[in-house]
Chain A
């Protein structure tokens, strides 16, 4: 004769009920925690994306890309196109200016006539977001040209950075 007392049946039923209620409540609380954690994660990811965008934008658009060659040489080439005869172009200092971006100070010496100086000023003005003409000094020299020395700050994309 297989015997299972009624008390055991009721105890099992009560245990099942308590277990179901307890686990149900626990699961509900976990679900709430899960949703909260997921919301937090979405917020954090959104913030990360926003910050990355800000960092990618940097201080401004780069004037030069170090990947294309030595920045000083690239700048000397541009100066030449503006009519400045470059004798020396040197990168003298750098400062981080955002992700994969540096603000570089260049010192350039050479010769230029008034028209070239004017073009240089207009070029610096046009590239105002990427370059700042810190100092310029021109002294008259023979042949209608002046001895020019200038310091220019420019944003340079570091090598290895992908253009954004």
Chain B
């Protein structure tokens, strides 16, 4: 590795150097490497900083510039070393980098030095603040995206909610209507038990002690009315009354006995009347 440090500017440049107070604080070395990559060159400098640097490595900041090819496939890089304190002073106003000129073999080389971080072992609050700001802005962008997405989701759920509520309203109306109809249906069921016919026929057969002739039988409003084909005897009437039947007129030889619940006028034709037998004996609503 050639030791080509050069602090000797030409006589013509003395004036210019004097005008740039920091120039004499830049230390420049030449470094020949078999690569054109600045990244690799910087890595090489970082690895050998303690050898290349005129100051303790913790007190300098380096900058690498490609000068050009030299013999044997090597490329020359100019490595500038600036004191950390100088750079810190120059970046007090918040500058992120500083350009300084150094000299190598009589050629002025412009180096660009990044603002130095905190000295090793000490926290770099500026860098941390910058990183936190970047992270915060990224997080803010993510949150904004999530907020937009959440807004859309809320709108979507709200729309579905509105549709469901409209459906609930419509169905509630239908259900209320159905409830009214169902109540009316149940009331009709309770008031018109069909089993009362079976019960009445059974009771008539029981009361007469056998077959009984009816000329008419009707059911309306839950009540059964029957017209006997022949006058009922007192015993039959008594038995029927005991079973809950009502007779409208007392039995006579001339007129038939109407039973339960309203009287039916006129005698029937016993011959045409159907014969009723005890076909069923149980009916919950029949007394």
| A13-B132 contact in complex given A96-B181, A115-B279, A137-B217, C-beta closer than 8 Å | yes
CA distance A99 to B177 in the complex (A): 11
Q: Does B248 contact A (CB under 8 A)?
A: no
**Interface stretch of the complex, out of A16-24, A70-78, A156-164:** A16-24
CB neighbors of B among A80-128 (8 A) = 95-99, 103, 113-115, 117-118, 120-125, 128
Residues from chain B with a CB closer than 8 A to the CB of A133 are 192, 194, 197, 219
Residues from chain A with a CB closer than 8 A to the CB of B146 are 27
* Contact status A16-B133, CB under 8 Å: yes
| A141-B272 contact in complex given A23-B140, A44-B165, C-beta closer than 8 Å | yes
CB neighbors of A among B190-213 (8 A) = 192-198, 201, 213
Residues from chain A with a CB closer than 8 A to the CB of B275 are 114, 144
* Contact status A4-B95, CB under 8 Å: yes
Q: Does B287 contact A (CB under 8 A)?
A: no
Q: Does B130 contact A (CB under 8 A)?
A: yes
| A114-B136 contact in complex given A48-B167, A97-B185, A140-B214, C-beta closer than 8 Å | no
* Contact status B168-A47, CB under 8 Å: yes
Q: Does B99 contact A (CB under 8 A)?
A: yes
Of A4, A37, A52, A97, the residue contacting B158 (CB under 8 A) is A37
| A118-B150 contact in complex given A9-B133, A128-B194, A133-B219, C-beta closer than 8 Å | no
* Contact status A153-B279, CB under 8 Å: no
Residues from chain A with a CB closer than 8 A to the CB of B195 are 121-122, 125
Q: Does B241 contact A (CB under 8 A)?
A: no
User: How would you classify the secondary structure of chain B's contact residues: helix, strand, loop or mixed?
Assistant: helix
* Contact status A132-B164, CB under 8 Å: no
* Contact status A60-B194, CB under 8 Å: no
Q: Does B13 contact A (CB under 8 A)?
A: no
Of A9, A27, A30, A115, the residue contacting B130 (CB under 8 A) is A9
Minimal beta-carbon separation of B258 from chain A (angstroms): 15
| A20-B133 contact in complex given A117-B217, A144-B275, C-beta closer than 8 Å | no
| A20-B273 contact in complex given A51-B168, A135-B219, A146-B217, C-beta closer than 8 Å | no
Q: Does B58 contact A (CB under 8 A)?
A: no
| A142-B272 contact in complex given A23-B140, A23-B144, A128-B193, C-beta closer than 8 Å | yes
* Contact status A138-B164, CB under 8 Å: no
CB neighbors of B among A12-53 (8 A) = 12-13, 15-17, 19-20, 23-24, 26-27, 30-31, 33-34, 37-38, 40-41, 44-45, 47-48, 51-52
Q: Does B35 contact A (CB under 8 A)?
A: no
Chain B residues proximal to chain A, CB less than 8 Å: 93-99, 126, 129-130, 132-133, 136-137, 139-140, 143-144, 146-147, 150-151, 153-154, 157-158, 160-161, 164-165, 167-168, 171-172, 174-175, 177-178, 181-182, 185, 188-189, 192-198, 201, 213-220, 229, 268-269, 272-277, 279-280, 283
> 16 pairs across A/B with beta carbons < 8 Å?
A1-B99, A3-B94, A6-B93, A6-B94, A7-B94, A16-B140, A24-B143, A27-B143, A27-B147, A41-B164, A122-B198, A125-B283, A135-B219, A137-B218, A137-B220, A138-B217
Known: A6-B93, A19-B143, A55-B174; 10 extra A-B contacts, CB below 8 A, are A2-B96, A5-B94, A8-B94, A12-B133, A20-B136, A48-B171, A114-B277, A124-B194, A132-B185, A137-B217
In the complex, the 5 A-B pairs of residues with the closest C-beta atoms, listed nearest first:
A16-B136, A124-B194, A44-B164, A23-B143, A121-B197
